[in-house]
Amino acid sequence: MRSLINYWLLALGLAALALLSACDTKPDFVKLEGLQGTATWHVTITNPPADKSAEQLQQGVEQMLKRTNQIIGSWDPNSEISQFNQNPSTDWIPVSKELAHIITLALRLSNESQGLYDITVSPLLKLWGFKKGEPAEGVVPTPAEIAAAQAKMGYQKLQVRLDPPAVRKAQADLTVELASLADGYATDLVGEYLESLGMQDYMVEVAGEVRTRGKSPRGDHWRIAIEKPIEVGRVVQQGVGLSNVGLATSGDYRNFFVAEGKRYSHTMNPILGTPVQHRLASVSVLAETGLLADAYATLLLVLGDEQGRKFAEEHKLAAYFIWRTDQGFDSYATPPFQPALIKLD
């Protein structure tokens, strides 16, 4: 999931391309990259500290990415969230303050969306054949199977407290899936690590989700390219200039299957128990943190172009929508997003 477009192109996730301008006047920067599981990551630091080598910074970034998996990697049976999911207890279970914070945010968005954003949606994803890092199986379940999966879900069955940090489920087989915000959270952890070393000018990209602070090597904002939501190839839809903000994009055009002529994406409507059925192909969100941007991008994609735009405007979100029309794609940027729009030459 990568391409090369102008200047330096960084990896993209479900729907975002990270793009840096060429640095021909200020070469004092470090560029790092790697692979964590199936996710690619890139970090560019302007004016890196003299007392840290690139190798040391690389190791530090990798430790932060491992920390992300240790907390919220449901694909890792030893992660904190997996241990919670496997525990049948309905009593309060102590967790890290990081996990408690993440779940608190997720439940807030569930309440804001009346349950259309739901981190207990894992039974539906498995039922419809969507597994992390694997192609969809392409099987349409029966209404009875959907109802049985929904009986194992419900954000209302999940409670969290911050002091002392703990989580409780009202149903023994309730599970929590945090993939909808994992990459955004990873950018935050890496960013916080860099800031702990005194770095204020950097760009972090993990599987296409981005966190920016300060200035790029050019001396101005970080230039990012949002991908056109096409199924084959990589084409830029829109450029944005960012500083001190996170960017996340959710789309329905990479992970889907077709059965009996109908297209089913991995984005679930937990209330209906089926993949979303609307014309919205991609939505990008700017927020203070990558975590918040990632979660809101998922929420808006579930809502669709019309309800999503209304929700974004009511909550004053910086969001950029791309939807399908008979003539191709159309797009809309909410007022808070519009100042970030730029043309990438």
CATH code of the domain covering residue 130 = 1.10.3980.10
Positions of the chain with pLDDT lower than 70, given as ranges: 1-27, 131-137, 233, 253-256, 259-261, 345
Report yes or no on 88 lying in a domain.
yes
Report yes or no on 321 lying in a domain.
no
- The residues near 114 (Cβ < 8 Å, ≥ 6 apart) are none
Report yes or no on 140 lying in a domain.
yes
Report yes or no on 36 lying in a domain.
no
Report yes or no on 97 lying in a domain.
yes
Report yes or no on 145 lying in a domain.
yes
Q: Say what the pLDDT of residue 25 is.
A: 37
Name the CA dihedral angle for 288, 294, 295, 298, rounded to a multiple of 10 degrees: 140
Q: Say what the pLDDT of residue 230 is.
A: 82
In one-letter notation, the amino acid at residue 284 is: S
Q: Say what the pLDDT of residue 254 is.
A: 67
Report yes or no on 285 lying in a domain.
no
- The residues near 19 (Cβ < 8 Å, ≥ 6 apart) are 5, 6, 7, 8, 9, 10, 223, 224, 225, 236, 239, 344
What's the number of domains the chain is made of? 1
Q: What is the DSSP string of 169-193?
A: ESSTT-----HHHHHHHHHHHHHHH
Report yes or no on 309 lying in a domain.
no
- Of 76, 45, 315, give the one whose Cα is nearest residue 182: 76
pTM of the model: 0.89
Domain range for 94: 76-179
Q: Mean pLDDT for the chain?
A: 88
What are residue 60's phi and psi, to 5 degrees? -65, -45
